[in-house]
Amino acid sequence: MLRKIVAFHQDEEHHWVAALDCGHAQHTRHDPPFFPRPWVLNKDSRANHIGTSLDCVRCDRQEIPEDYVAYRRTPTFTSETTPIGLRRHHSTKSGVWGVINVLKGQLRYRIHEPYHCEVILDQHTKGIVLPEVEHEVEPQNNAEFYIEFWHREEKADDLTPNNLA
Residues lying near Zn ion in the complex (CB under 5 A) are found at: 3, 22, 24, 56, 58-59
Task: Answer yes or no: are the C-beta atoms of 111 and 120 closer than 8 Å.
Answer: no
Judged by CB, which is closer to Zn ion: 19, or 59? 59
Minimum CB–partner distance for residue 42 and Zn ion (Å): 25
C-beta of 108: minimal distance to Zn ion in Å? Answer: 25
| Interatomic CA distance for residues 97 and 92, integer angstroms | 7
**Cβ closer to Zn ion: 135 or 143?**
135
Q: Which is nearer to Zn ion, 63 or 148 (CB)?
A: 63
Integer CA distances (angstroms), 134 to 41, 78, 110, 153, in order: 36, 21, 9, 24
Phi first, then psi: what are they for 164, rounded to 5°?
A: -85, -15
In the bound state with Zn ion, the residue whose beta carbon lies nearer, of 22 and 40, is 22
Report the nearest approach of Zn ion to the CB of residue 24 (Å): 3
CB of 111 to Zn ion, least distance (A): 15
Q: Label each residue of 89-121 as H, E or C.
A: CECCCCCCEEEEEEEEEEEEEEECCCCCEEEEE
